[in-house]
Structure 1
């Protein structure tokens, strides 16, 4: 069991050609981010949200994680991008190894897996997922 390196899910790549995911802002699909322990098995073959080995916290984190705020889409220098605003979980006590972004508007289909590179912990504090800049060289999802 492991969270493999950051990965765009293979099912997501196929579903792009099937018009399953809409990243328009406003009016697009709703995407969530859920967090997982080091015991989770997540990677490019992940197809949908799962509660198996999802983190728990006495407060501040509920199963399924939180809704992401999509910053929209753009194309520059032949690279299409989309990204999300930073996401914070407040008053949590948890340890997370990685996360899954998934589309709640499309039966919880997986988009991508984020590997934190090691366990990250918050104790009665704030756990923040900081997304990269909305640029063609940094955005969380890029197609070139």
Structure 2
């Protein structure tokens, strides 16, 4: 089993169908869900699943809502990002995560990420730190 970091192919198609709205005001609700090292996720992942989702104290299924950052452009690249997310006072181990659209029917997947190794918190904060929101680093970029 493995998590292969990727923007989901189904997400790219769904952008063309206007299923995702990343605007800070009035946009879709995006969640970040945590997964164990037993999860199998890749560009072929199409939707949220509870299969191999991490479990632990103060973590709920589907994870937590993300705070969007308005989309923008730089040169020929469009990009958007999210504010850092903290799961407070939790006891959990996760190998990766999925960003999903909690507002759309079927909870479509946006992207999956591999942390490179299991990350653990024990009765502490589990924080997802997003990269700088720019054309080279933002978590969602279309060039």
The interval holding the TM-score normalised by the smaller chain is over 0.9
Aligned equivalent of 1:98, options 71, 96, 100: 96
- 1:46 and 2:60 matched: no
- 1:62 is displaced (CA, Å) by 0.5
Q: Map 1:1-144; keep pairs closer than 5 Å.
A: 1-4=1-4, 6-58=5-57, 60-107=58-105, 108-144=107-143
Quote the Cα distance in structure 2 between the aligned partners of 1:23 and 1:90.
25
Q: Which runs of 5+ in 2 are unaligned?
A: none
- 1:44 is displaced (CA, Å) by 0.5
Quote the Cα distance in structure 1 between the aligned partners of 2:132 and 2:51.
31
- 1:135 is displaced (CA, Å) by 0.8
- 1:2 is displaced (CA, Å) by 1.3
Quote the Cα distance in structure 2 between the aligned partners of 1:105 and 1:126.
26
Quote the Cα distance in structure 2 between the aligned partners of 1:133 and 1:83.
8
Quote the Cα distance in structure 2 between the aligned partners of 1:32 and 1:25.
14
| Cα deviation digits, residues 77-107 of structure 1 (max 9, x gap) | 1110000000000111111000000001112
Which stretches of structure 1, 4 residues or more, deviate above 6 A after TM superposition?
none
Equivalent position SS for 1:14: helix
Quote the Cα distance in structure 2 between the aligned partners of 1:25 and 1:128.
21
- 1:17 is displaced (CA, Å) by 0.9
- 1:19 is displaced (CA, Å) by 1.0
